[in-house]
Amino acid sequence: MLPAGCAGCAERVPGLRQGFCPRCVGELEALHPAPTRPDPPPPGLPPCLALGPYAGALRHGLLAYKERGRHGLARPLGALLAEVVAAAVGPRRAVTLVAVPDTARAARARYGDHLDRLARHAADRLRAAGWPVRVLRPLRALPRPDSVALDSAGRAAAADAAFRLRRAAGGADGSVVLLDDIVTTGATLAAVSRVLRDAGMTPNAAAVLAATQKRHHQ
């Protein structure tokens, strides 16, 4: 049988490590969580950390996971997300993880909520390192337009109407950390943060895998 293609570079090489070739593994391991902030930041956006820019092996790995059905990548990507959570929180303490929920349509297309899978693998990784972790799903996502076709104002308007609190949301322990895969304008994270804050569950930070880079036109 031919070896599976690397999720990061698509090369068919032996020795894949949870879906990535050794070169792409090295590229991912060289990334380190760092603060990121959209410009301008939307009101209500909590402090946000990203593992790296939306480029290279990280970008291709996320696309393979989300859009090409490579669900096995949830484990390595979740482990990377756990690193971002740890950096966002600081000293080890109790943490509640809240992932931005998929819409029902997106979850059906992806055979499950892709961020919920990442959150659970991130929680497993943190627990193995001695962190007390809870994963809550206090929100549901309402149908909304595809953000790819929207500008910054459109994203903000769509995000504000996109999330509702579930009836039995449950309580949070310790630091509340929002999880998302990619941050672009920050509108989604800010909207989720406002809904949680109104419910008495104010997020302390947001942790994402990738941050898009704003292009400056000359």
Residue with tokens 């497993």: 124
Mean pLDDT along residues 146-157: 62
Where does the pLDDT of residue 215 fall: very low under 50, low under 70, confident under 90, or very high at 90 and above? low
pLDDT tens-digit readout, 76-100: 999 999 999 999 999 999 999 999 9
Q: How far is it, in rounded angstroms, from Cα 159 to Cα 172? A: 23
Cβ proximity of 177 and 88 under 8 Å: yes
pLDDT tens-digit readout, 31-86: 999 999 999 999 999 999 999 999 999 999 999 999 888 999 999 999 999 999 99
Give pLDDT, residue 218: 42
Where does the pLDDT of residue 134 fall: very low under 50, low under 70, confident under 90, or very high at 90 and above? very high
Check residue 14 and report its DSSP letter: S
What type of residue is 48? Answer: C
Mean pLDDT score of the chain, rounded to an integer? Answer: 88
Nearest to 65 by CA among 48, 81, 82, 85: 81
Cβ proximity of 78 and 122 under 8 Å: yes
Token pair of 113 as six digits? 């909520």
71-100 b/e with 16+ CB inside 10 Å = b?
eebbbbbbbbbbbbbbbbbeeeeebbbbbb
Mean pLDDT along residues 15-29: 90
Is the pTM above the cut of 0.75? yes
pLDDT of residue 29 exceeding 80? yes
